């Protein structure tokens, strides 16, 4: 991979640190220096991305961590703007920003490195998209993790699946003669099959179970539509509301009412552009991407575009696929992506949705009213927005559950993306646990429970189960629907239980522990062997003070999957709260036997040791936390308390300072630091 910046020792400067990229002995590395601390060497074990994306390209760096994970380093390069940047979203909440000398290192939300390659519930994930055949597994021998991958690029098997049989057959003259190449041509895929191949990486998705590798069924491991629950990354018309990839394609007229796939425009092998007939075109702005289907628009194009033929405003993609900044990234760095929803510019309605539309993107000096007036003069009445999208937009403004159901629940529409968006919006806005629905809502949910799309019917079943699961007739309907699923039954169950589990988690976040427990019980009716559901049920029970029941739920989860360090940690926390010190200690040590670097096991074991007066052991536990993850500020503060009791005042003050980097507004720690300062002044 070609580096975008020479590692020549030019420092990246923070207010409290310098990070020096350098080459030593043929190896790239970063040297992190902070005041009064030993320098930290972070090797570059891999490079991700060439910064080639037109709307804002980046290059990141990964390192093999001592626990066996491969983690992204928190600073990346932005090619177009030529700056180092980091993501402050989880701390300073300013999105992606250039690194400047007025920033603290801890403003970077990924410091210390937290994002891993691959999927694991313990970490922030980059899933399996930044490389080929990435797998993260618990390593019971090394008491940590084992990460494997073929490359940090995209190889043949990323799209085509396992190729060993293919290689063997093409070398076999007999097999070659009968045409058996051991691999299906992707050119023969249906429209939706083709999209799924690309959506392995180019879409948001919720993990249903671990272990996916290219060549396996994506829908058995992930849901592509469930991310629309809660965060709603997309607006009802497919434009990006927070952060997304190219799944806006599913809202496009060219897909909904046509046959457009990703490869209609993109050549996956050359990574160049082509038209719908497979013929190469000069680049991304070539009108043949569109006119190979919409041939009439190529004749006297000015009559359609009302812009000079050779101007940027006359390019199809300028108006119908404008580059839009990803909102969650912020505005400090260019990170715009082409709008794959392929909309018609509508200045007033775009503005109402919070979208900077194509007209406004070029003509920022004109108001939306003026731009809309111009559109009307040129084109008259525009093609209507898809009725399903219009209905969902209206339904999101409706407070009454009955009227909202008429607008949001759309069993007759062929626009599946909008159908799911409406259903997800109804679930998020209107659904209440064990609260009867108006007849029209129940009927429409029952119709959606028979929908052809897995995600739609699973969410409709989940909605009925959550709101009316105590009703005998509803339970009979749900059971009947399960019996009709055939080979899809496990796929429906996993989505159904995930949706009910999401609703249970939402109740828990609102302080309704009893409601959350009851909802997890519903989810477990659907998927009784899911250890995550049992674990989360235990957390809700613990929130409600039902510690003995929480312990039972944790044990049930661990019986299903004993290799969960966090399951053992939460069991230990519950046992400690019940006064079972030896049982809690044993649980924490069991977690550490699985993963010796599990920081929450060390931290809670340290708390137990501190409470029982074993100060040396507690200090060692907190030091183990800090060595692995210095961002856990309480470990610094509790260690400082022990140091102060030992009379190690300067060390205690330094430890509080280290914790305040990550929790600068902690009033108790700030007061303790001030007290230590006074004591040190007295000693002087």
3-state secondary structure of 68: coil
Output 1 or 467, whichever has higher pLDDT.
467
Number of Cβ within 10 Å of residue 139's Cβ equals 15
The pLDDT value given to residue 157: 92
What is the spatial distance between Cα 348 and Cα 335, in angstroms, rounded to a whole number? 24
pLDDT for 35 = 84
Q: What is the mean pLDDT of residues 220-231?
A: 95
Model confidence at 79: pLDDT above 80: yes
For residue range 440-499, list pLDDT tens digits in order.
Answer: 999 999 999 999 999 999 999 999 999 999 999 999 999 999 999 999 999 999 999 999
Q: Are 375 and 347 spatial neighbours (Cβ–Cβ below 8 Å)?
A: yes
Select the more confidently predicted residue: 681 or 91: 91
User: Which pLDDT does position 138 carry in this prediction?
Assistant: 84
**DSSP per residue, 340-383:** TT-PPP-HHHHHHTT---HHHHH-TTS-HHHHHHHHHHHHSSPP
Q: What percent of the chain has pLDDT over 70?
A: 99
Give, for 323, the enclosing helix (H) or strand (E). Answer: strand 323-325
Structure tokens at 414: 């062929």
Q: What is the pLDDT of residue 1?
A: 67
Question: 551, 574 in Cβ contact below 8 A?
Answer: yes
Which helix or strand (DSSP H or E) is residue 325 part of?
A: strand 323-325
Q: Average pLDDT of the chain?
A: 94
The reported pLDDT for the residue numbered 124 is: 77
645 close to 613: Cβ distance less than 8 angstroms: no
DSSP-assigned letters across all residues of 551-579: HHHHHHHHHH-TT-HHHHHHHHHHHHHTT
Give me the mean pLDDT over the 201-228 stretch: 94
CB < 8 Å & 24+ apart, contacts of 550-558? 550/574, 551/575, 551/578, 557/531, 557/532, 558/531
pLDDT (mean) for 664-683? 90
d(CA 517, CA 501): 10
Are 64 and 144 in contact, with CB atoms under 8 Å apart? no
Could you tell me how far CA 534 lies from the centroid of its own chain?
23
Mean pLDDT of 408-421: 97
Whats the size of the chain, residue-wise?
Answer: 684
Q: pLDDT per residue over 314-343, tens digit each?
A: 999 999 999 999 999 999 999 999 999 999
Looking at residue 42, the DSSP 8-state letter turns out to be E
Which residue has tokens 């809700």? 540
Of 365, 357, 436, 350, the closest CA to residue 401 belongs to: 436
pLDDT above 80: residue 177:
no
pTM of the entire predicted model = 0.94
Report yes or no: 18 and 11 within 8 Å, Cβ to Cβ: yes
Structure confidence at residue 353 (pLDDT): 94
pLDDT at site 441: 98
Which among 552, 504, 558 has a CA at the least distance from the CA of 526? 504
Does the pLDDT at position 259 exceed 80? yes
pLDDT category, 222, cuts 50, 70, 90? very high
Alpha carbon distance 331, 335 (integer Å): 8
Write the pLDDT tens digit of every residue in 147-161: 999 999 999 999 999
Instruction: Give the span between the Cα atoms of 454 and 414, in whole angstroms.
Output: 14
pLDDT of residue 121: 84
Supply the pLDDT for residue 684: 62
Residue 592: what pLDDT?
Answer: 95
Residue 165 has pLDDT above 90, yes or no: no
Averaged over 348-355, what is the pLDDT?
A: 94
Residues 6+ apart with CB under 8 A from 256: 250, 386, 414, 415, 417
280-307 pLDDT tens trace = 999 989 999 999 999 999 898 899 999 9
How do residues 100-137 score in pLDDT, each as one tens digit?
999 999 999 999 999 999 988 888 777 678 899 999 98
d(CA 228, CA 248): 12
Q: Is the pLDDT of residue 143 over 80?
A: no
Locate 401 and state its tokens.
């559950």
- Phi then psi for residue 665, to 5 deg, are -105, 15
Residues 487, 490, 496, 497, Cα dihedral to 10°: 170
């Amino acid at each position: 991979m070609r580096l975008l910046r020479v590692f020549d020792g030019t420092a990246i400067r923070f207010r409290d640190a310098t990070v020096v990229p350098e080459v030593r002995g043929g190896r790239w590395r970063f040297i992190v220096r902070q005041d009064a601390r030993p320098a930290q060497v972070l090797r570059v074990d891999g490079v991700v991305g060439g910064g080639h994306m037109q709307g804002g390209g980046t290059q990141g760096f990964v390192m093999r961590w001592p626990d066996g994970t491969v983690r992204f380093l928190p600073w990346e390069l932005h090619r177009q703007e030529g700056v180092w940047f980091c993501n402050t979203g989880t701390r300073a909440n300013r999105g992606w920003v250039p690194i400047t000398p007025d920033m603290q290192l801890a403003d970077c939300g990924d410091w210390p490195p937290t994002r891993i390659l691959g999927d694991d519930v313990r970490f922030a994930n980059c899933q399996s998209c930044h490389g080929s055949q990435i797998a993260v597994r618990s390593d019971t021998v090394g008491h940590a993790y084992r990460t494997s991958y073929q490359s940090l690029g995209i190889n043949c098997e990323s799209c085509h699946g396992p190729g060993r049989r293919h290689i063997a057959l093409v070398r076999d003259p007999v097999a070659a003669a009968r045409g058996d190449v051991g691999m299906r041509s992707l050119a023969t895929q249906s429209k939706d099959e083709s999209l799924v191949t690309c959506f392995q990486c180019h879409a948001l998705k919720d993990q249903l179970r671990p272990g996916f590798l290219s060549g396996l069924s994506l829908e058995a491991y992930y849901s592509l539509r469930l991310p629309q629950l809660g965060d709603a990354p997309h607006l009802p018309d497919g434009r990006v509301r927070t952060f997304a990839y190219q799944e806006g394609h599913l809202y496009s007229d060219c897909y909904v009412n046509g046959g457009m796939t990703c490869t209609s425009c993109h050549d996956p092998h050359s990574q160049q552009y082509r038209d719908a007939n497979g013929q190469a075109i000069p680049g991304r702005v070539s009108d043949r991407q569109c006119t190979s289907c919409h041939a009439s628009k190529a004749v006297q194009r000015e009559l359609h575009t009302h812009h000079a033929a050779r101007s940027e405003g006359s390019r199809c993609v300028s108006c119908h696929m404008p580059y839009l900044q990803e909102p969650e990234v912020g505005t400090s760095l260019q990170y715009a992506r082409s709008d794959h929803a392929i909309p018609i510019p509508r200045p007033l309605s775009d503005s109402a949705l919070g979208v900077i539309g194509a007209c406004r993107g070029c003509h920022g000096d004109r108001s939306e009213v003026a731009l809309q007036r111009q559109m009307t003069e040129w084109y008259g009445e525009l093609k209507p927005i898809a009725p399903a999208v219009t209905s969902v937009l209206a339904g999101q403004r409706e407070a009454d559950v009955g009227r909202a159901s008429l607008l949001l629940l759309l069993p007759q529409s062929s626009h599946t993306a909008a159908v799911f968006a409406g259903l997800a919006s109804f679930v998020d806005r209107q659904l209440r646990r064990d609260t009867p629905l108006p007849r029209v809502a129940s009927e429409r949910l029952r119709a959606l429970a028979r929908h052809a799309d897995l995600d739609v019917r699973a969410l409709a079943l989940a909605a009925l189960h959550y709101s009316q699961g105590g009703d005998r007739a509803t339970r009979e309907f749900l059971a009947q629907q399960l019996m009709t699923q055939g080979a899809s039954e496990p796929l429906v169950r996993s989505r159904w239980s995930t949706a009910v589990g999401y609703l249970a988690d939402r109740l828990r976040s609102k302080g309704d522990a009893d409601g959350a427990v009851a909802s997890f019980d519903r989810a477990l009716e659907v998927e009784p062997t899911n250890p995550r559901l049992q674990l989360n049920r235990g957390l809700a029970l613990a929130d409600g003070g039902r510690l003995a029941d929480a312990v039972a739920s944790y044990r049930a989860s661990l019986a299903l999957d004993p290799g969960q360090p966090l399951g053992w940690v939460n069991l230990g926390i519950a046992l400690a709260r019940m006064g079972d010190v030896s049982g809690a200690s044993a649980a924490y040590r069991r977690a550490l036997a699985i993963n010796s670097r599990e920081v929450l096991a060390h931290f809670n074991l340290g708390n137990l040791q501190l409470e029982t007066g074993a100060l040396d052991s507690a200090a060692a536990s907190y030091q183990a936390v800090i060595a692995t993850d210095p961002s856990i500020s309480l470990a610094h503060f509790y260690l400082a308390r022990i140091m102060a009791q030992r009379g190690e005042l300067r060390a205690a003050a330094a430890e509080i300072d280290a914790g305040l980097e990550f929790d600068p507004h902690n009033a108790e720690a700030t007061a303790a630091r001030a007290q230590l300062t006074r004591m040190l002044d007295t000693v002087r």
